Chain A
Amino acid sequence: MTELTSLTLAQAREKLVAKEITSVELTQSYLDAIAAANEELNAYISITGDQALAQAQKSDERLNSGNGGALEGIPLGIKDLFATRGVHTQAASHILDGFKPRYESTITQNLWDDGAVMLGKLNMDEFAMGSSNETSYYGPVKNPWQAEGSNQALVPGGSSGGSATAVAAHLCVAATATDTGGSIRQPAAFTGTVGIKPTYGRCSRWGVVAFASSLDQAGPITRDLRDSAILLKSMASLDLKDTTSVDMPVPDYESHIGKSVKGMKIGIPKEYRMDGMPEEIEALWQQGIEWYKDAGAEIVDISLPHTKYALPAYYIVAPAEASSNLARYDGVRYGLRVTGDDIKDMYEKTRAEGFGDEVIRRILIGTYVLSSGYYDAYYLRAQKVRTLIKQDFDKAYADGIDAILTPATPSSAFAIGDKEMAADPVKMFLNDIFTVTVNMAGLPAISVPAGLDSKGLPMGLQLIGKPFMEEELFQLSNVIEQAAGSFEAKKWW
């Protein structure tokens, strides 16, 4: 880590504007850091150095003329799920081999319009399906964190594992990520970074490779809260190309950091107190409650009675949508094609070779639950559960709760190639137990680093907010960040 790569987004922004540093210097430091670390950490699957430096050059010109945008000259990592014109965009899948779109996702376009620089495309679970970044066609990403006294490689979480690792290991200032069931918040918690999943509809889905359309939502992963506030403001917009995008002003999230939380009501849902939850997680949660009490917030026990149905319902809805969304990868127009005797043979060979096991598993589940005769029992019922989950939250908020505090994950990072997880996909699914409800209800939620466990690994707390009240999440989670401080992985790579 150089002096330059140690800067947060807010700090770098300040120095760039003050012309203490240039974007080219900053970008070059990151490219150097990536070159040195990526073989070990595998966070990037495509590095766009020349393009980055060219962008940085232009940023410096704008900065010099005083015309810099909100993110002028800031080098970012972009999750491989976002379409970037002429650049590797494969959702970390074999089936999109060689695919380089002729279009730019709305979110990344927003970032470039604000002056950001792209360092490259970040590794992820294939099609964002996974909680450990082990399903990537490009191999697993390593967490920069290791347990004390151990050199065992740990997962960074998933699906935005590349984003989380790149941010935590200072291989970019900040990164874009996406969250369908916890894919921003769980990796953030595993890597000691901040990740926010905004309200469904806050960020455009146009040009983001779809996993489960009704759940997918993009957001930032950053080193601290302020950086998330800055990046989210640029990412969020109304987009007429996405019907589910919402026409609401994007507030200045940054200005809400530091506001008093006195008198605000924090809900503590009893249903999140799970059997077999590690004591350390329980203790962390209790610690969070104490911090809020100290800050003058009111702690209220609440009930979200349908929580236990969220995970099973999620694993019906998400695969169902995915099975349909991924039908377009058929070898006909782009990406991988494995030739066959006829069209059906070509489809089968292409999809069998192009998709990894986890993706195939979810396509099969999704196809099954939508099948004639099963639709009502699975998909329709899951949608009803979803409505009930939403109502649970609506009721809590109607009762005056401002935000809900929960652990972000049921554990800290686990080992790459964990045998138990590999043997039982449901164990892997359980990683999302605290996060999926939020996607099912379309709510915003943030994961903030709150402490280290006994192994010295980071753990996060999650705050769930009211629809389109992301600014309150920034206001509230500042309490955790102030109390817990920030966490840096010891460099071993």
Chain B
Amino acid sequence: MTPVLVDTRTPEPKRFIAGATGDWEVIIGLEVHAQVTSKAKLFSGASTKFGAEANSNVSLVDAAMPGMLPVINEECVAQAVRTGLGMKAKINLRSVFDRKNYFYPDLPQGYQISQFKDPIVGEGIVNISVGPDKKGNFEEVEIGVERLHLEQDAGKSMHDQHPTMSFVDLNRTGIALMEVVSKPDMRSSDEAKAYVTKLRTIVRYLGTCDGNMDQGSMRVDVNVSVRRPGGEFGTRCEIKNMNSIRFIGQAIEYEARRQIAILEDGGKIDQETRLFDPVKGETRSMRSKEDAHDYRYFPDPDLLPLVFTQEYVDELAKDLPELPDEITARLVGDVGLSAYDASIIVSEKAIVDYFDAVAKGRDGKLAANWIINNLLGKLNEVSTTIDASPVKPDQIGGIVDLIKEGTISGKIAKDLFEIIWEEGGDPAAIVEERGMKQVTDTGAIEAAVDEVIAANPDKAQQAVEKPNLAGWFVGQVMKATGGKANPQAVQALVRQKLGIE
């Protein structure tokens, strides 16, 4: 459905695209098809399990056998409402299922059951955060959501199984999708990417869609048009069926420039549906407006209007998890993290859960640092998710505690982390057993300092003139003590013994 065009943004030069004849502004609206997380399909009891043998998850209803009737799966309704609530959207207590009629072999009924005029969810918002820029700042932008509606997915046509015939797999037929239609509020490919990323984060937090784009759980139709900054909206083209955030960005960049080139050559844009070719990095025409289907929408007479109460919505709202925006506010406001660090923690619910487990009763900033700089880095290195991390929150917490109480230095802590990663175990016990404790005994450190100075009389002499050399002495002492000496104590003693003020 084409949303009503309302300009909600003020044109800003930093987002303009320079053309040969002046600046242009790109206008982007997205339709995200998110597969609802549920065991059964939208109108049949067939399983939604991904990767099953072809045509094994097909009920009589999915195969559109004569006389079959759809029955709404209430869990899909609840998931749509949750998603609407997650976008602070208006929930419509009465919505209507319509039939969208067209012929295709992977659409057994000859129509898709969707919601046309009266969707289950109305207007909402998705806050996106674009950046960071060179100064590390993020720009917060509010993107309007026009609506969310429930609809059936189609099956899959396979054209490579037989020399002259196509095969059809109906496993996906009838699986519930939520189509989230944005307002044409985005003004750059970065914003579009941030929007999809954020929407994916929201549905993942809510558990209403797994967000796995590579499995087709989220597919995006991208509407792109260009105009002179602040001018009239241009004619849009729709790029269908994108399943990668990176490609969405590339497609928008290509499409905007393609349209600008046409307009600057005095041409005009044909409203059409296009496909993105990731190999060539370009979009190409799929069908023009003239070839567009007349879907002959009308209310599905097999289904009564979908009606529920505000109490039902309130019940679902009560059980919603804390959402990314709320968590960000907490992390930045209460914990004192930077916007950047908060954005990393919030990017996945599992990281938030991990962080919360570590930070409970501890220094949140230190916990965040450890998770972001050590744990996530290591996980990334070995391509593991945080859920599967061999180092558990209580272990990171133990390391943080040991640092905080001065038992180990930051450097030793890194070694300790590696040990735990490989071998597991209780951090405090390991430190105890392996003698990794920081030496804070001044006498022992003093002896080590004396030894180093005595062994390097020339350098000690020079250090009086060149105080920077103190650092070399500190390094030597640390080396001599196996890194266990308290660096601050070593620093102080070295300076004192060398006579540097």
Which positions in A face B, CB cutoff 8 Å? 82-83, 89, 91, 96, 99, 101-103, 105, 205-210, 212-214, 240-244, 320-321, 323-324, 326-328, 330, 332-334, 343, 347, 367, 370-372, 375, 379
B292 to chain A, nearest CB (A): 10
The 3 closest A-B pairs by CB, nearest first: A327-B110, A214-B301, A213-B301
- Flag if A327 contacts B69 (CB, 8 Å): no
Q: Which of A209, A343, A372 contacts B67 (CB 8 A)?
A: A209
Return the chain A residue nearest B106 by Cβ: A332
Chain B interface main SS type:
loop
Q: Which of A208, A209, A334, A370 contacts B296 (CB 8 A)?
A: A370
In whole angstroms, how far apart are the Cα atoms of A103 and B67 in the complex? 10
Q: Known contacts being A243-B71, A343-B105, A375-B298, is A327 close to B111, with CB within 8 Å?
A: yes
User: 7 A–B contact pairs at CB < 8 A?
Assistant: A101-B66, A102-B60, A206-B67, A243-B71, A243-B72, A328-B108, A372-B296
- Flag if B298 contacts A370 (CB, 8 Å): yes
A203 to chain B, nearest CB (A): 13
In whole angstroms, how far apart are the Cα atoms of A368 and B33 in the complex? 30
CB neighbours (8 Å) of B67 from chain A are 82-83, 101, 105, 205-210
In whole angstroms, how far apart are the Cα atoms of A207 and B168 in the complex? 24
B8 to chain A, nearest CB (A): 29
In whole angstroms, how far apart are the Cα atoms of A210 and B300 in the complex? 13
Counting CB contacts under 8 A, is B338 at the interface?
A: no
Counting CB contacts under 8 A, is B461 at the interface?
A: no
Q: Which of B63, B294, B302, B304 contacts A333 (CB 8 A)?
A: B63
Can you list, as one digit per residue, whether each of B169-201 has a CB less than 8 Å from chain A (1) or not (0)?
000000000000000000000000000000000
- Flag if B64 contacts A328 (CB, 8 Å): yes
CB neighbours (8 Å) of A209 from chain B are 66-67
CB neighbours (8 Å) of B65 from chain A are 83, 101, 103, 334
CB neighbours (8 Å) of A326 from chain B are 110
Interface size counted on chain B using CB atoms at 8 A: 29
Q: Which of B60, B68, B70 contacts A243 (CB 8 A)?
A: B70
Counting CB contacts under 8 A, is B54 at the interface?
A: no
CB neighbours (8 Å) of B301 from chain A are 212-214, 321
Total inter-chain residue pairs, C-beta < 8 Å: 94
Chain A interface main SS type:
loop
In whole angstroms, how far apart are the Cα atoms of A99 and B72 in the complex? 27
- Flag if A243 contacts B110 (CB, 8 Å): no
- Flag if B304 contacts A243 (CB, 8 Å): yes
CB neighbours (8 Å) of B63 from chain A are 333
Beyond A323-B296, A324-B99, A330-B110, 7 extra complex contacts between A and B, CB < 8 Å: A206-B68, A209-B67, A210-B66, A243-B303, A324-B101, A327-B111, A333-B63
In whole angstroms, how far apart are the Cα atoms of A212 and B302 in the complex? 9
Query: Which of B55-90 touch A at CB < 8 Å?
Result: 60, 63-72
In whole angstroms, how far apart are the Cα atoms of A269 and B416 in the complex? 93
- Flag if B72 contacts A372 (CB, 8 Å): no
In whole angstroms, how far apart are the Cα atoms of A334 and B301 in the complex? 24
CB neighbours (8 Å) of B66 from chain A are 83, 89, 91, 96, 99, 101, 209-210, 328
Query: Which of B36-65 touch A at CB < 8 Å?
Result: 60, 63-65
CB neighbours (8 Å) of A320 from chain B are 298
Counting CB contacts under 8 A, is B250 at the interface?
A: no
CB neighbours (8 Å) of A332 from chain B are 105, 108, 168
Counting CB contacts under 8 A, is B472 at the interface?
A: no
- Flag if A206 contacts B69 (CB, 8 Å): yes
CB neighbours (8 Å) of A330 from chain B are 103, 105, 110
Counting CB contacts under 8 A, is B486 at the interface?
A: no
Return the chain A residue nearest B63 by Cβ: A333
In whole angstroms, how far apart are the Cα atoms of A214 and B301 in the complex? 5
In whole angstroms, how far apart are the Cα atoms of A83 and B310 in the complex? 40
B289 to chain A, nearest CB (A): 12
- Flag if B103 contacts A327 (CB, 8 Å): yes
In whole angstroms, how far apart are the Cα atoms of A362 and B9 in the complex? 49
B301 to chain A, nearest CB (A): 4
In whole angstroms, how far apart are the Cα atoms of A242 and B303 in the complex? 9
- Flag if B296 contacts A244 (CB, 8 Å): no
Query: Which of B281-325 touch A at CB < 8 Å?
Result: 294, 296-298, 301-304
- Flag if B296 contacts A240 (CB, 8 Å): no
CB neighbours (8 Å) of B302 from chain A are 210, 213, 243-244
Return the chain B residue nearest A96 by Cβ: B66
In whole angstroms, how far apart are the Cα atoms of A375 and B294 in the complex? 11
In whole angstroms, how far apart are the Cα atoms of A105 and B431 in the complex? 73
CB neighbours (8 Å) of A210 from chain B are 66-67, 302
Counting CB contacts under 8 A, is B109 at the interface?
A: yes
Counting CB contacts under 8 A, is B166 at the interface?
A: yes
CB neighbours (8 Å) of A207 from chain B are 67-68
In whole angstroms, how far apart are the Cα atoms of A83 and B64 in the complex? 13
Return the chain A residue nearest B60 by Cβ: A103
Return the chain B residue nearest A371 by Cβ: B294
In whole angstroms, how far apart are the Cα atoms of A89 and B93 in the complex? 40
CB neighbours (8 Å) of A372 from chain B are 294, 296
- Flag if A370 contacts B108 (CB, 8 Å): no
CB neighbours (8 Å) of A214 from chain B are 301
In whole angstroms, how far apart are the Cα atoms of A206 and B110 in the complex? 19
Question: Which of B72, B296, B302, B303 counts the most chain A CB atoms within 10 A?
Answer: B296
Return the chain B residue nearest A82 by Cβ: B67
In whole angstroms, how far apart are the Cα atoms of A447 and B280 in the complex? 70
CB neighbours (8 Å) of B71 from chain A are 240-243
- Flag if B166 contacts A343 (CB, 8 Å): yes
- Flag if A241 contacts B69 (CB, 8 Å): yes
CB neighbours (8 Å) of B110 from chain A are 324, 326-328, 330
A268 to chain B, nearest CB (A): 32
Q: Which of B72, B105, B111, B168 contacts A324 (CB 8 A)?
A: B111
Query: Which of B100-144 touch A at CB < 8 Å?
Result: 101, 103, 105, 108-111
- Flag if B298 contacts A379 (CB, 8 Å): yes
- Flag if B298 contacts A324 (CB, 8 Å): yes
Return the chain B residue nearest A331 by Cβ: B105
In whole angstroms, how far apart are the Cα atoms of A295 and B219 in the complex? 69
In whole angstroms, how far apart are the Cα atoms of A99 and B67 in the complex? 13
CB neighbours (8 Å) of B168 from chain A are 332
Q: Known contacts being A334-B65, A371-B296, is A347 close to B103, with CB within 8 Å?
A: yes
B5 to chain A, nearest CB (A): 20
In whole angstroms, how far apart are the Cα atoms of A206 and B68 in the complex? 6
In whole angstroms, how far apart are the Cα atoms of A103 and B108 in the complex? 18
CB neighbours (8 Å) of B304 from chain A are 243-244
- Flag if B69 contacts A243 (CB, 8 Å): yes
In whole angstroms, how far apart are the Cα atoms of A333 and B104 in the complex? 12
B361 to chain A, nearest CB (A): 51
A321 to chain B, nearest CB (A): 5
A143 to chain B, nearest CB (A): 28
Return the chain A residue nearest B99 by Cβ: A324
B309 to chain A, nearest CB (A): 18
In whole angstroms, how far apart are the Cα atoms of A99 and B99 in the complex? 25
CB neighbours (8 Å) of A99 from chain B are 66
CB neighbours (8 Å) of B70 from chain A are 243
CB neighbours (8 Å) of B108 from chain A are 328, 332-333
- Flag if A242 contacts B69 (CB, 8 Å): yes
CB neighbours (8 Å) of A206 from chain B are 67-69
CB neighbours (8 Å) of B99 from chain A are 324
Return the chain B residue nearest A208 by Cβ: B67
A166 to chain B, nearest CB (A): 21
CB neighbours (8 Å) of A101 from chain B are 65-67
In whole angstroms, how far apart are the Cα atoms of A205 and B66 in the complex? 11
Q: Which of B68, B296, B297 contacts A367 (CB 8 A)?
A: B296
In whole angstroms, how far apart are the Cα atoms of A208 and B298 in the complex? 21
CB neighbours (8 Å) of B298 from chain A are 320-321, 324, 370, 375, 379
Q: Which of A96, A205, A343, A375 contacts B69 (CB 8 A)?
A: A205
B71 to chain A, nearest CB (A): 6
A350 to chain B, nearest CB (A): 11
Return the chain B residue nearest A320 by Cβ: B298
CB neighbours (8 Å) of A212 from chain B are 301
In whole angstroms, how far apart are the Cα atoms of A403 and B66 in the complex? 35
CB neighbours (8 Å) of A343 from chain B are 105, 166
